[in-house]
């Protein structure tokens, strides 16, 4: 393995197509594609400041590093990424990648991150300004995510989320096969047009949640007072602890709650229109 320590590189492709490379205390300055097309790379306590450093790379590990804002779009078209204890300031990270594991990572400018990815594992990750994060991504396994940003997990498939706090409007739109355990989800219009969304022991806030859903399941959840006009046109099986402000025109299934302030069933209800509501 080639070892490079305490060096500075800039320009275009300074370490292009390297295989079997260990970097420590290396700084990558302005330029493009510093490590493109490489494989079996480990970077420890490094700083990346140029664009596209890890495009088309295979099997690389990043520990204790920083991706500055200039390292935008740093990880695209890669396979086999492991990232630990790292600060990612660069926007538009992680596109069209597969087999990625992040632990103790902070992404303060996570706009349009994790698009068209597969097999993504996150442990103790913070993502802010994260509009449109996880769009069209499949095979997501999350524990301890703190997310702030709207339109998250749109069109995502096969997702499991645990012990997380999601502050996100329009989350899970048109998603499929998503399960969320023991988490807080706050934001308007949660889960519209989803298929197979399951929420277990979750706290839900925000107006008009969980409408137009197919095969929606809630188990032992809490809906905060802001969660009004819930379940419109959804097929739903729900057990809810405590009160619900209002329920409107659920399509089918069963809803059981401690109390419901208002049940709205009007001429616009869709067939079969036979949801059983208990409170």
The mean per-residue pLDDT over the stretch 139-145 comes to: 98
**CA angle at residue 36 from 31 to 37, to 5 degrees?**
165
Q: What is the pLDDT of residue 236?
A: 98
Task: Report how far residue 184's alpha carbon sits from residue 186's, in angstroms, rounded to the nearest whole number.
Answer: 7
Q: What is the pLDDT of residue 235?
A: 98
Q: What is the pLDDT of residue 191?
A: 98
Q: What is the pLDDT of residue 165?
A: 98
Beta-bridge partners for 222: 203
Q: What is the pLDDT of residue 223?
A: 98
Q: What is the pLDDT of residue 28?
A: 96
Contacts (Cβ under 8 Å, ≥6 apart) of 220: 200, 201, 239, 241
Identify the band that residue 184 occupies on the pLDDT scale cut at 50, 70 and 90: very high
Q: How far is CA 183 from CA 121, 147, 164, in A?
A: 17, 11, 5
Question: Can you spell out the DSSP letters for 25-79?
Answer: S-EEEEEE-TTTT-EEEEEES-EE-SB-TTTT-EEEEEES-EE-GGGTT-SBS-E
Q: What is the pLDDT of residue 176?
A: 98
Among the four given CATH numbers 2.160.20.80, 3.90.1150.10, 2.60.120.10, 2.40.50.110, the one describing domain 1-94: 2.160.20.80
Supply the pTM of this predicted model. 0.95
Residue 253 corresponds to which tokens in the numbers above? 């299934």
How many CB atoms are located within 10 Å of the residue 69 CB?
12
The mean per-residue pLDDT over the stretch 131-144 comes to: 98
The mean per-residue pLDDT over the stretch 77-88 comes to: 97
Whether the Cβ atoms of residue 238 and residue 217 lie closer than 8 Å to each other: yes
Q: How far is CA 100 from CA 23, 59, 61, 157, 172, in A?
A: 20, 10, 10, 16, 21
Give CA torsion, residues 235, 237, 165, 83, to 10 deg: -80
Residue 5 corresponds to which tokens in the numbers above? 């320590």
Whether the Cβ atoms of residue 82 and residue 64 lie closer than 8 Å to each other: no
pLDDT in tens, 193-207: 999 999 999 999 999
What end-to-end distance do the CA atoms of the chain give, in Å?
66
Question: Can you spell out the DSSP letters for 154-204?
Answer: TT-EEEEEES-EEE-TTTTTT-EEEEEES-EEESSSTTTT-EEEEEES-EE
Instruction: Give me the residue spans of the domains in the chain.
Output: 1-94
pLDDT in tens, 211-244: 999 999 999 999 999 999 999 999 999 999 999 9
Q: What is the pLDDT of residue 260?
A: 97
**Helix, strand and coil in the chain, % to nearest 5:** 0, 55, 45
């Amino acid at each position: 393995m080639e070892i490079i320590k305490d060096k500075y590189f800039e320009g275009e492709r300074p370490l292009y197509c390297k295989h079997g490379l260990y970097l420590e205390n290396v700084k990558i300055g302005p330029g493009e594609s510093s490590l493109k097309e490489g494989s079996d790379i480990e970077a420890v306590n490094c700083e990346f400041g140029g664009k596209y450093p890890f495009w088309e790379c295979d099997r690389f590990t990043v520990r204790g590093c920083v991706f500055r804002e200039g390292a935008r779009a740093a990880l695209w078209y890669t396979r086999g990424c492991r990232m630990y204890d790292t600060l990612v300031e660069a926007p538009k990270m992680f596109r069209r990648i597969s087999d990625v594991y992040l632990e103790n990572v902070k992404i303060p400018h996570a706009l349009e991150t994790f698009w068209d990815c597969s097999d993504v594992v996150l442990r103790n990750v913070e993502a802010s300004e994260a509009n449109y994060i996880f769009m069209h991504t499949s095979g997501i396994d999350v524990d301890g995510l703190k997310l702030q940003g709207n339109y998250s997990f749109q069109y995502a498939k096969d997702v499991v989320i645990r012990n997380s706090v999601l502050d996100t409007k329009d989350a899970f739109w048109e998603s499929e096969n998503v399960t969320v355990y023991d988490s807080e989800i706050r934001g308007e219009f949660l889960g519209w047009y989803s298929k197979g969304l399951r929420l277990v022991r979750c706290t839900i806030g925000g107006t008009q949640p969980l409408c137009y859903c197919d095969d929606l399941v809630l188990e032992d959840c809490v809906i905060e007072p802001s969660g009004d006009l819930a379940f419109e046109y959804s097929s739903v099986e729900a057990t809810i602890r405590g009160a619900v402000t209002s329920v409107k025109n659920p399509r089918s299934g069963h809803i059981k709650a401690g109390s419901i302030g208002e049940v709205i069933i009007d001429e616009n209800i869709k067939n079969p229109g036979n949801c059983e509501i208990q409170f």
